[in-house]
Amino acid sequence: MIDLHTHSTASDGSLSPRELARAGKAAGLDVMALTDHDCAKGLGDFLDEAGKIGLVGVPGVELSAEVPRGQLHLVGLGFDPSNPALNAHFRALLQGRAARNQAILRAFRDNGVPLAWEEVRAFAGDELVSRVHFAQALVAKGLAADVKDAFARFLAKGAPCYRDRPRLAPADCIAAIRAAGGVAVMAHPLSLDPDPATLAPKVAALRDLGLQAMECHYSGYGAETVVALLRIALRLGLVPSVGSDFHGAPKPDIALGRLPVPRETEARLRALLRLPA
């Protein structure tokens, strides 16, 4: 089995990179990518642990791209984690996140919500602090029932404490991934447009920018959605990808190793990522 979309404590997951590799192996995965947000911080430990336990580890990252409507997340796979240009993008994105986090804190203060930076930072395992960590702090203080409630009431786009952050253009995301020797994958496509009919031309435009694959098999998608996405991928010549979007505790309903795909799909992904058959 294969899972090409997971997160660790290097961004907003609850397992360390080494723990994540071991959890993937225990779940029966043969191939697994660590795709933390905007950084390659955990890849060294993840790949080292994967090699020790007989798991094929794939270096990855998840980038948010700037779009006028919806959300576009692009996963980069199989790139060189030491690539200087890609790491310069990571540094700039982390700086933007840091500024956004302070703006969110001010928004909580302005809305009369007692939340301190130390309370948020306690939930972040590494340098990256995300909205998930704010949500976890709110739950711990009894100000939200769970992470979903915290987002709905405070942190989702349009909520009173949401603040935006800088993102790369889609073309820049794809170019940076591919220039570092990686494969560009569209993550959870319905986040960009929930209607497959109007989604298809948007995916075609990304394909023309260098997109190579699209997550058709995703933890939040039912059989009908998977079929619709597979049709788009087939029509556009994109390789169907598979990703759980595992985070651990922040998203307890998502598990590793629950998305079996046809052997042909796995073979195409292995070929695209230049992995042993």
Looking at residue 127, its pLDDT comes to 66
DSSP 248: S
Q: Is the pLDDT of residue 42 over 80?
A: yes
CB atoms within 10 A of CB 166: 13
Q: How confident is the model at residue 115 (pLDDT cuts 50, 70, 90)?
A: very high
| H and E: helices and strands count for the chain | 10, 7
Q: Is the pLDDT of residue 68 over 70?
A: yes
pLDDT (tens digit, 9 = 90+) per residue, 191-210?
Answer: 999 999 999 999 999 999 99
* CATH of region 98-155: 1.10.150
Cα 218 from Cα 259, distance rounded (Å): 7
Which tokens belong to 52? Answer: 């020790």
CATH of 2-90+166-272, one of 3.40.1410.10, 3.20.20.140, 2.102.10.10, 3.50.50.100: 3.20.20.140
Q: What is the predicted pLDDT for the residue at 277? A: 79
State phi, psi for 60 to the nearest 5 degrees.
-150, 170
CB-based contact 35:6 (threshold 8 Å): yes
Render the burial of 63-86: b for 16+ CB within 10 Å, e for the rest: bbbeeeeeebbbbbbbbebebeeb
Nearest Cα to Cα of residue 187 among 165, 164, 158, 219? 219
Residue-range domain boundaries for the chain: 2-90+166-272, 98-155
Give yes or no on whether 2-90+166-272 and 98-155 have one common fold: no
Total number of residues shown for the chain = 277
What's the average model confidence in pLDDT over 72-78?
A: 98
Give the tens place of pLDDT for each residue, 99-110.
999 999 999 999
20 falls in which pLDDT band (50, 70, 90)?
very high
Q: Is the pLDDT of residue 126 over 80?
A: no
Average pLDDT, the chain: 95
**Residue range 168-183: mean pLDDT, rounded:** 97
pLDDT bin (cut points 50, 70, 90) of residue 240 is very high
- The rounded Cα 3 to chain-centroid distance in angstroms is 12
Are 129 and 9 in contact by the 8 Å Cβ rule? The answer is no
